Structure 1
């Protein structure tokens, strides 16, 4: 999406006060690197009875957001050690041009430098905000992940010129083949299944709950970072977060 995107969609923060305070205090609601003209037509992302807030106290909003890191060894939408000192959470949309720029220009270097040495874990959250094709691509990425091909699908879908081809059903199958998904019949079934819809809803609800209204948006150990910024912004944030984590670990000894 170009930088000429119109004003962002706003989602009511009808959740626990601690999360609302975290969003306001840290400026999460102002994440506007790129934003949609309106909310998803189906109303996805609205507050629901099942939504829950992080358990951290409202007086410590960074800790509340940091607690969103799942650190699940079985998470198919993550790379890096579950016990890495720094977790970068990325809320992104496959139709978002800035998300693609980050995926091509910045993310590979972070993986090579920080994931490889155990410093960083990256957890992706599907946050589709540009309509039905965004949602379909998010579900397809999840389905590819079921066969351990999420990273390859992610790379293919964010390749230069990919989003201009759209994400209709035939295109998603083409991307799955390109990503090396071994069982395309299972991929198609998973893509259309209830589990994919539930996983998408979980990620999107989390984003809306903390005030995310645009993509790409990031949390680095609970500290927001907006947009496809220069690599230096991410390396600085990771270095700081690692130092804080090491200091906290030392204090506990």
Structure 2
């Protein structure tokens, strides 16, 4: 099935990666280790936590683009374990590690379902610098978004029947997302334009699908540190891996 055909599918089943669970039991190669690395100052007048850009892999990275320690998270906006990691670790990652210039932190979308893709499109609707804050705030509102979206099964299924350029707009409205994004500076019209961008939706899906297959990612969140899979996904363990890699 082609990406565009998948986007036109009534159920969008092709957009839901076949994940064993939100969390995978797969073990990885283990994180790298190294000597302590001195902090790296940002250019005058700049802050590493406000430095962000899209990567060639389609993720959004925040921090020093030349940081010697690169943390990558494959995450889903409809994954409870990802929401838990966000709420326990995101602030510390940025304030204690990204701000030092020693660590960059990239989030790459691993799409699990249509609502996940809807939120991913919305979170990317603003500047790159706003992606991480919006993503973390969406995870902070995880229970409310999920309960609202799935409260009416018939309405959810009806949204999936909409034409591709309307489908994600309908899902967003069902989940109360226009209000959520408006409170973060993204107007309803701006959000609707982003959600109608089927080319961007196809790009996010393709990156997710291709990278999951290439890297054998079967659950979220999954972390890589300097290109090596970390066999843990809780914040205390990820922090330990960052310190072992030299962020101490």
> TM-score normalised to the size of structure 2?
0.62
SS of the residue 1:242 aligns to: coil
The aligned counterpart of 1:210 is 215
For residue 125 of structure 1, the aligned residue among 84, 102, 108 is 108
| Aligned-residue offset at 1:144 | 3.6
The structure-2 alpha-carbon separation of the partners of 1:89 and 1:162, relative to structure 1 and needing over 3 Å to count, comes to farther
Q: Name 1:106's counterpart in structure 2.
A: 89
Q: Pick from 63, 68, 76 the counterpart of residue 93 of structure 1.
A: 76
Task: Choose 88-97 or 196-205, whichever is displaced more.
Answer: 196-205
Offset at residue 89 of structure 1 (A): 0.7
Q: Which residue of 2 aligns with 1:143?
A: 125
Give the Cα separation in 1 of the matches to 2:148 and 2:118: 10
The reply on whether 1:180 has 2:161 as its aligned counterpart is no
Give the unaligned 5+ runs of structure 2: 1-11, 19-30, 33-50, 150-170
Q: Deviations over 1:5-55 (max 9, x none)?
A: xxxxxxxxxxxxxxxxxxxxxxxxxxxxxxxxxxx7126779xxxxxxxxx
SS of equivalent residue, structure 1 residue 149: helix
For the aligned residue pairs, the C-alpha RMSD in angstroms reads 3.0
Q: Does 1:221 align with 2:204?
A: no
| Equivalent residue in structure 1 for 2:135, among 147, 154, 176 | 154
Aligned partners of 2:133 and 2:14: how far apart in 1? 29
| SS class of match (1:125) | strand
Contact preservation (8 Å) 2:73, 2:108: yes
TM-score (structure 1 length as normaliser)? 0.61
Contact 1:156–1:162 (8 Å) recurs in 2: no
Shift of 1:207: 2.5
Partners of 2:75 and 2:222 within 8 A in 1: yes
In structure 1, stretches of 5+ residues that fail to align are 1-39, 47-61, 64-71, 244-253
Q: How much does 1:224 deviate?
A: 1.5
Alignment partners' CA distance in 2, 1:152 and 1:137: 13
- Give the 3 Å change call, closer, same or farther, for CA 43–141 of structure 1 in structure 2: closer
Secondary structure of 1:87's match?
A: strand
TM superposition shift of 1:236 = 2.1
Preserved contact between residue 52 and residue 63 of structure 2 (Cα < 8 Å): no
Q: Identify which of 52, 57, 64 aligns with 1:81.
A: 64
Q: Is the 8 A contact 1:126 1:204 kept in 2?
A: no
2:172 to 169, 173, 185: 169
* Number of residue-to-residue matches in the alignment: 179
Q: Name 1:189's counterpart in structure 2.
A: 193
